[in-house]
A and B are shown apart, each in its own frame.
Chain A
């Protein structure tokens, strides 16, 4: 794992293959919780936190499963481990780290069924990343989610005062704004290859 490799994976996950805008993972919070910049920020930090912990915990479990020919249990085991983990983290934070709980706690139950978390875990397995690489890719995916959320929260706050036809108001205009945000990320395609290869 050379520094160049790390940066290449990180930048790919953040820019060229942004989790939200090009892989379509985690669309629900992206559309639902991006109305205000501070809630978008809280949600993203909680997602990064849960993603990193989930990757760290599921990686050894998955290698155990594949070593014992139990690969077909991957989906069931991963979702259960993530669901249990989120509950556990919530309880621990509530008891010991009150300030962090106040900042992230309300977002945690929502994240269990967020497809971005299970998605990043499964993608790491599919790509055959090592433990370190998995963590880097997860961090990149989380930061990518945050970048997309924050940009989009900014776009949406401008959208609120815009004059929009009646049937496009609300969700349709939000989706079309997301399309335009996604176009802006198309500009990054090839950037990472250009830098590192």
Chain B
């Protein structure tokens, strides 16, 4: 029973308390770049979640085999292999998504969330807990992307779920039966689709998350020079220190 409770905790912490995007501020690049449409956001979220769960399982299973000194390169190889598998699957079955995500699909390799979870969780915990942690974090990432894309697509393009057929690739026609998004606003504010809108919406979302966590007496989301980086333990936290010295 106690084990079940702790698994549930591992799962839910990724959704709210330690949401990777809104609380830990990891994976900002794909968050900003792929949240222009809800379909892209869901696709990116699912791809990253699959890689995160698989790499967490593999790293956790190998945690006693990988020597401590070469663990980061070993993690990178494991993550890159899963990214390549996902990339090939997406190319084969959902080519429209592959075209929409472009270079950000292979860039899941350097997504800090995945390496961060490997370093912070999977190399210390058993396989099942790591898988659940990966799933929770992945869903938290997808949820944050989805919220951002909802706002950006609605205001910037005036649509919701535009291009939904392409997310399901070859099966789209059968499952969704003709549904391919709805148009709501006829004169959208294009700026929200543009990069500037991405930064703005992300800023406002983090401010909202801060406001909510303030009520719950949780600390604010902050991005330091180095501390938030998953590799902080491997490098000497030199940047933030040097910043202090120069004051």
> Which of A's residues lie within 8 Å of B, judged by CB?
21-28, 31-33, 35-36, 38-39, 43, 72-76, 79-80, 83-84, 105-107, 109-110, 112-115, 118-119, 122-123, 126, 166-176, 178-180, 182-183, 186
Contacts and interface: CB of A to CB of B under 8 A. Distances in A.
B29 A79 contact: no
Given A75-B109, A109-B234, A110-B235, A27 B76 contact: no
Interface string B23-49: 001001110110000000000000000
A113 B88 CA distance: 22
A25 B207 contact: no
A114 B226 CA distance: 13
Contact of A182 (B106, B196, B210, B211): B196
**How would you classify the secondary structure of chain A's contact residues: helix, strand, loop or mixed?**
helix
A135 B62 CA distance: 39
B206 to A, nearest CB: 5
Nearest to B102: A126
B154 interface: no
Given A24-B33, A109-B234, A38 B203 contact: no
Contact of A172 (B87, B88, B115, B210): B210
Interface string B186-202: 00000100111111101
B80 A75 contact: yes
Interface stretch (B12-20, B133-141, B169-177, B238-246): B238-246
A173 B211 CA distance: 14
Interface stretch (B1-9, B53-61, B156-164, B215-223): B215-223
